[in-house]
Structure 1
């Protein structure tokens, strides 16, 4: 899964380093417009440009459907650059012809930016209005620059991710509430029922596998909403969902979480592994204190467990 934009904006010195990356690339291809992009599952976002070039119709913040971009044709699995020295002669670009003409691009170099985990971040691209030859040394240098940039991204990513599950960590959650204006939302505070038995009877390696599987199920579920999943620590998790508008819809999601986290293989079901959830909502445009929200959600979680576990309660 690509790095979300709401994570990138927390990276230290991202803008400064992105500018340095573009400046270095420009040294080797001074006559071309250089730009950085990132991907979502369906879109490409233009992050930074080496300069404002009015003859090429690309701008920072531009969002393009991924299937409508040349970058989508890069072979990320093999980490190979994509090179078109004269796009007007490329018959396999006929479906993109109108977009390329509109952008006034006729030569293109796309370098994949890939994290050490193998996940795609985006591209480092060099384009020109005219057909032009890309020299081998220039291509190799842009590949090196892209690799250095990916190392920086990986270091920043580690700071906000839980090392065991890959979910966001407590630091990201607090950063989110400190720096992003509250749009209103719902916190689901989850705690696994029966998890201590897993560690005691099956061992901590089995417990770690369970936590990873829980994280995967939560992440797959949260992708259907506008929000994100967090591992607070131990067997405690948070879902922060922004686009739920009613108590009925919130209850439906809570029930879906309980269902997903109570269905296991025979051995885990015998140990009665499930989850309990405390739910708290917060309004938009208010000074929402995360510590208070978590305390209230924890209070609701306690009542859910007291009611018999595998249940949810609203604060």
Structure 2
């Protein structure tokens, strides 16, 4: 799972450390415009940049299509920098040549930033509107700065991620709701039907594989719902949190989609899922503990009614 920008907002002292990374990079190559970016599968966002005395248009928060960014060419797998001391010097950049010229970029140095597990985070880049020289010593020093920044990212990530599935954990959920519950939304409380039988029949190693696959299914679901978060509460209990209001019809459609996904297994495991749905209104302070209790009550009703179904929480009769 890729780091999200809202996750970065929770990292302790992220802004200060990002500024320090840029500052240290400027000590190494004072004449360059540096920027720190984060990437998703399709986009790149500029998180921080050094003071700009070049003709290159750049701004913090600038979002780029990754296919339009030279950073997409960086070798993240082998953690190798991408170096163009003069982009006009016969590098066969193809369509990038026009884009770089429009952005007044004449030289480029891009260093990959990845988590310890190899997952891509983003880049530290040096650009200039003039030709540059990037010596080996300077590149090595910049790589050391990136490596120290990576250690910080991993420490923060471990605090908010479940170690088995890499989904967000309960700690992240609590922190997120402290400042992001004003708009209203809903939660799906999911519990796997038949998970104990899978553990008994196939062993706990297989059970862990199943939990990881559940996480992958939830990640694919949230990938098409930008306002949704997938969380592992513990065991075979998961939460999908929607941070924008949705109609009952929409929530029902999404719940049915999840139920179909979580009952479809190539290995023919005797598995399905039950869901309890609780909504919270906009404008007020949402009590997360109470919201989870409501969703849990609705989940209980789904189990009681035969499993592999969803139920909405109702104030009138707890759940219906």
Q: Same fold (TM over 0.5)?
A: yes
- Per the TM alignment, residue 244 of structure 1 is displaced from its structure 2 partner at its CA by 6.4
Structure 1 match to 2:300: 302
Please give the alpha-carbon distance, in whole angstroms, between the structure 1 residues aligned to 2:38 and 2:299: 38
1:159 aligns with 2:159: yes
Could you state the TM-score of these two structures normalised by the residue count of structure 1?
Answer: 0.94
What are the residue-to-residue correspondences of 1:177-188 with 2, within 5 Å? Answer: 177-188=177-188
What are the residue-to-residue correspondences of 1:128-143 with 2, within 5 Å? Answer: 128-143=128-143
Q: 1:7 aligns to what SS in structure 2?
A: helix
- Per the TM alignment, residue 8 of structure 1 is displaced from its structure 2 partner at its CA by 0.8
Q: 2:95 aligns to what SS in structure 1?
A: helix
The worse-fitting range, judged by mean Cα deviation, of 121-130 and 257-266 is 257-266
What are the residue-to-residue correspondences of 1:206-285 with 2, within 5 Å? Answer: 206-226=206-226, 227-242=228-243, 245-265=246-266, 268-269=269-270, 273-285=271-283
Please give the alpha-carbon distance, in whole angstroms, between the structure 1 residues aligned to 2:200 and 2:16: 49
- Per the TM alignment, residue 91 of structure 1 is displaced from its structure 2 partner at its CA by 5.1
- Per the TM alignment, residue 267 of structure 1 is displaced from its structure 2 partner at its CA by 5.7
Assess, with a 3 A threshold, how the Cα gap between structure 1 residues 190 and 131 changes in structure 2: closer, same or farther.
same
Q: 1:288 aligns to what SS in structure 2?
A: coil
Structure 1 match to 2:126: 126
In the alignment, structure 2 segments of 5+ residues that lack a partner are: 314-320
Please give the alpha-carbon distance, in whole angstroms, between the structure 1 residues aligned to 2:156 and 2:94: 39
Structure 1 match to 2:84: 84
What are the residue-to-residue correspondences of 1:52-91 with 2, within 5 Å? Answer: 52-53=52-53, 55-90=55-90
Q: Deviations over 1:279-307 (max 9, x none)?
A: 01223332111111111111111111111
- Per the TM alignment, residue 54 of structure 1 is displaced from its structure 2 partner at its CA by 5.5
- Per the TM alignment, residue 266 of structure 1 is displaced from its structure 2 partner at its CA by 5.9
Please give the alpha-carbon distance, in whole angstroms, between the structure 1 residues aligned to 2:84 and 2:68: 16
- Per the TM alignment, residue 243 of structure 1 is displaced from its structure 2 partner at its CA by 5.3
- Per the TM alignment, residue 60 of structure 1 is displaced from its structure 2 partner at its CA by 0.9
Q: 2:225 aligns to what SS in structure 1?
A: coil
Please give the alpha-carbon distance, in whole angstroms, between the structure 1 residues aligned to 2:153 and 2:267: 41
CA RMSD in angstroms comes to 1.7
- Per the TM alignment, residue 64 of structure 1 is displaced from its structure 2 partner at its CA by 1.0
The structure where helix makes up a greater share of residues is: 1
1:34 aligns with 2:34: yes
Conserved 8 A contact 1:244-1:250:
no
Please give the alpha-carbon distance, in whole angstroms, between the structure 2 residues aligned to 1:198 and 1:228: 26
Aligned length: 312
Conserved 8 A contact 2:71-2:123:
yes
Q: Deviations over 1:243-279 (max 9, x none)?
A: 563222211111111111122356622xxx2111000
Please give the alpha-carbon distance, in whole angstroms, between the structure 1 residues aligned to 2:197 and 2:246: 37
- Per the TM alignment, residue 99 of structure 1 is displaced from its structure 2 partner at its CA by 3.1
